[in-house]
Structure 1
Amino acid sequence: MSSVEPEQTGTVTIEYAGEYFTVSPGQQFLIGREGDLELDDNRFLHRLFLSVEEAGGMWWLVNIGSRLSATVTDTEGRVQAQLAPGARLPIVFASTTVVFSAGPTTYELSITTAQPAFRETLPEVDADGDSTIGAVPLTVSQKLLIVALAEPVLRREGTGMSELPSSAGAAERLGWALTRFNRKLDNVCDKLDRQGVPGLRGGVTSSATNRRVRLVEHAVASRLITRADLAMLDDPELLESAR
């Protein structure tokens, strides 16, 4: 493994915060607080969380943690899957985005394959309807809420880590009362939950922080919001109309 960006047949390249690591067939690449890619000294993050490894002639992304999940999408955000603890996914796209959160911190990295199994975008809907992302209509206020929560991620250049704001901080950014913000958050989470997005349903076992970070993970990975939407936060007329 190296920190350069070579072009070798059969390799995968992992990019995080502008640093590149190349993995050759037969090697295993470990990601976490420790490992080949040491992300962050974050007590919420597993010591070893993800593994990139080759088996049966294919590259796989494996969740070797016990609590955290990762959101995995193609670069265009058209196909999305949740990688739960103990699960594995084949790395089949030319470029794959991996987004996950540990505590209030969200991480993003990309994996590029030299010989992708799929060179074209998969169909809009798969056989089970579980993996694809359809268009989700959002009101202006719902989109503003998501952009406010995801602002640190969207302002970040490339991949890396970001600290998400609290509900109170995002509400203040929008000029909303916290009660209004929480009501709107309930509404947008309910809407996405009905679309089949996991981890957004409320309840006694659902942490408010976990719900916010899961919402940001999905919105960023699926391209429901993009960097271009940051302009909404600086549009006085738009902000006023959504109040």
Structure 2
Amino acid sequence: MTATHASTLPGLTVDYCGEVYPVRPGHPLVIGRDADVAVDDNPFLHRQFLEVADRGDLWWLSNVGTVLSATVADEFGGLQAWLAPGGRLPLVFPRTVVWFTAGPTTYELDVHLEGSLFEPVRQRSELAGSVTVGRVSLTPDQHLLLVGLCEPVLHRQNRGGAVTPASSAVAERLGWTPTKLNRKLDNVCEKLTKLGVRGLHGDASRLATSRKARLVEYALATQLVTAADLALLPDPAGGPRRT
């Protein structure tokens, strides 16, 4: 790559847990268990999973793994994509957020692009008796379910990985029966699948784990839930919900 071409590319960095990694043209940055960005020694995580590199006049995020997928979104959740193995996406927003799950743990990292010409637009509105984000309208219980599933990640605030809680733990946290939680989970997954969200249905052996992880990633990426929603959860000590 010539110096002239390199100078046309905007500066780009990857931020994981507050550690910033500049990416240079002609020098791909690899993210994984044993890579330039060493995420974790999690055995479920690929040694080399994601790659940030320049191609042509753009920066690209590629999935160089064989099993795991990643959820990619702009900072306001206006655009969301599911990056499967072998896939790649251009990095065009000032801030792009990436979530991925390996085993029980969900990770988050940021990609920052200098001088981007694209500006994401926040689209979020709340209506009485429901929560509407984009095309998605949730009942209060469906919304509360998502908050319960995402609670560890929302508390962590991009500081390493967070373990997605077991369904039984979420049911206890919300004061629900396991049957009620599973019914609400089925309803949310069916609703989102009808809207074209991928990864929420599969064979019986994968449903309990993979769809829940994908649901957490999607809810975070599209900002169906945010840290402000933690106030909706019951008090851990058994008191009423915080308001």
- Match in the other structure for 1:137: 137
Report how far residue 216 of structure 1 moved. Answer: 0.3
Contact 1:31 1:37 in 2 (8 A): yes
Report how far residue 64 of structure 1 moved. Answer: 0.2
Report how far residue 93 of structure 1 moved. Answer: 0.8
Q: Secondary structure at the match of 2:138?
A: coil
Q: Secondary structure at the match of 2:81?
A: strand
Structure 2: runs of 5 or more not aligned: 1-8, 124-132
> Cα deviations across residues 41-70 of structure 1 (Å, max 9, x unaligned)?
111110100000011121000100001111
- Match in the other structure for 2:184: 184
Q: Secondary structure at the match of 1:137?
A: strand
Structure 1: runs of 5 or more not aligned: 1-8, 125-132
Query: Structure 1 residues 83, 25: CA separation in 2 closer, same or farther (over 3 Å shift)?
Result: same
Residue type of the partner of 2:119? E
Partners in 2 of 1:34 and 1:76 — Cα distance? 30
Contact 2:16 2:110 in 1 (8 A): yes
Q: Secondary structure at the match of 1:54?
A: strand
Which deviates the most, 21-30 or 216-225? Answer: 21-30
Alignment of 1:108-187 (within 5 A): 108-116=108-116, 118-121=117-120, 134-187=134-187
Dislocated runs of 4+, deviation >4 Å = 235-239
Contact 1:109 1:159 in 2 (8 A): no
Query: Structure 1 residues 238, 108: CA separation in 2 closer, same or farther (over 3 Å shift)?
Result: same
Q: Secondary structure at the match of 1:109?
A: strand
Root-mean-square deviation over aligned CA pairs: 2.1
Contact 2:76 2:122 in 1 (8 A): no
Identity among equivalent pairs (%): 51
Contact 1:51 1:61 in 2 (8 A): yes
Alignment of 1:82-93 (within 5 A): 82-93=82-93
Q: Taking structure 1 as the reference length, what is the TM-score of the superposition? A: 0.86
> Cα deviations across residues 160-207 of structure 1 (Å, max 9, x unaligned)?
311110000101101111111111111111111111111112542533
Contact 2:174 2:234 in 1 (8 A): no
1:214 aligns with 2:209: no
> Cα deviations across residues 124-175 of structure 1 (Å, max 9, x unaligned)?
8xxxxxxxx8331111111111111110001112353111100001011011
Partners in 2 of 1:184 and 1:72 — Cα distance? 25
Partners in 2 of 1:222 and 1:188 — Cα distance? 14
Q: Taking structure 2 as the reference length, what is the TM-score of the superposition? A: 0.86
- Match in the other structure for 2:126: none
Report how far residue 234 of structure 1 moved. Answer: 3.0
